[in-house]
Amino acid sequence: MKTTAVIAIHGGAGTILRTAMSTEAETQYHAALSGILHAGERVLADGGSALDAVTEAVRLLEDCPLFNAGHGAVFTAAGTHELDASVMDGATLEAGAVCCVTRVKNPVLAARRVLEHSEHVMFTAAGAEAFAAAQGLEFVDPSYFHTDARYRQWLKARGTEGTMLDHDAATFAATRLPGEHDPIDPSKKFGTVGAVALDMHGHVAAATSTGGITNKQAGRVGDAPLIGAGCYANDATCAVSTTGTGEMFMRMLAAYDVSAQMEYRGATLEAAAHDVVMTRLPRIDGRGGLIAVDAKGNVTLPFNTEGMYRGFARVGETPVTAIYR
């Protein structure tokens, strides 16, 4: 029986400010999500692997300034950009990751090269960039990652304690500048992007990428590049990509926990993902969500915040996108 291939993506989760959302901005976000889903769907429709589909989807998310990855990444406390990414192939359990890169245009492509051309799983900082350069990947000046919207967010975050995640949402909203219409309040936004897919051969894969959190301490690494925390894939169970308070997802091994519950206690994809996001993470104040797909083509996109940029597309069907609960 032929498998109906499917891809799902996310672009971050957080606190929704519906009043801050213009019709034009909402249309922009839905169009971006839909276009990226179409691209991933085309890879699958042409017989491409789940790994190819998630890599392409996340590459496009990195290129889109609406999302916190690649071009559009947030600023660190030092006013720089440090990017992280990971990929995992459910067919082989091979994985690759990079973290704290500053000049690699598409970190997800570097992570993919680690998976394919290295005996290691993760490279960091200068080592990651040296590996990416040896692989012939495209490098950019750090200014490429700058966007005015992220820069304004960073300016507001400076002088507050910690990161933008701790900044008061009401205060931020009150100081919103003309033209700022992010539907998810950036002070309560967990900006990671990711994709999961099932291909027509029955294999699953996952990829995750991020610029981190606004005003983060230089050198901080969250869950996105960590296999088992922000990204996991296993043909026997599922593929998962997460977005949220990274430290909590790391402590819970959130992505792997979904797979483990399916494997060890026979939970369905929906039940396992719901338990991780709605029960286990909140016990340690973990906020955010995840996307997941299993080998049967089931898809789930749970989140415990007010919203999450998300969508999925089955080959031959119209993509479905959403922002709010």
DSSP per residue, 78-102: TS---EEEEEEETTTTEEEEEEEES
Question: Which residues define the annotated binding site for substrate?
Answer: 220-223, 243-246
Residue 173: what pLDDT?
Answer: 39
Structure confidence by residue, pLDDT tens digits, 231-271: 999 999 999 999 999 999 999 999 999 999 999 999 999 99
Query: Is 240 within 8 Å of 259 (Cβ atoms)?
Result: yes
Residue 287 has pLDDT above 70, yes or no: yes
Does 52 have pLDDT greater than 70? yes
| Active-site residue, selected from the candidate residues 192, 214, 242, 305 | 192
Report the CATH number of the 6-324 domain: 3.60.20.30
Beta strands in 165-213 (DSSP E): 184-190, 192-198, 204-210
What number is the average pLDDT over the span 280-297?
97
Check pLDDT > 90 for residue 36: yes
Annotated binding site: 220-223, 243-246
* 175 classed as catalytic: no
Mean pLDDT of 27-50: 97
Residue with tokens 């026997």: 236
The pLDDT tens digits of the residues spanning 147-193 come to 998 898 888 888 665 544 322 232 343 345 444 556 766 656 667 99
